[in-house]
Amino acid sequence: MNGEMVGEIPVGIQTFRNEDQPYWPQFNNATYKEVWVGNAGKWLSIVADLIK
């Protein structure tokens, strides 16, 4: 699952192999196992309600 999906919000960082060090690849893609796939506006409205 390469590339970005519409409406995803990345919540993790890419790591190199199984190590726990951040890895900055040449292309900036969200890690597919660490994204919220939903309507981005829905998540932002929930956060806005929590901040109030």
In this predicted structure, the answer to whether residue 7 has a pLDDT above a threshold of 70 is: no
Residue with tokens 């981005």: 40
Please tell me the distance from the alpha carbon of residue 49 to that of residue 2, in angstroms, as a whole number.
Answer: 33
Higher local confidence (pLDDT), 23 or 2: 23
CA–CA dist 28, 31 (Å, integer): 9
Burial degree of 12 (CB within 10 A; 0-12, 13-18, 19+): exposed
- The whole-number average pLDDT for the span 10-27 is 70
Confidence bin at 19 (pLDDT 50/70/90) = confident
CA distance 38 to 7: 6
Please, are residues 8 and 30 in contact by the beta-carbon 8 Å criterion? Answer: yes
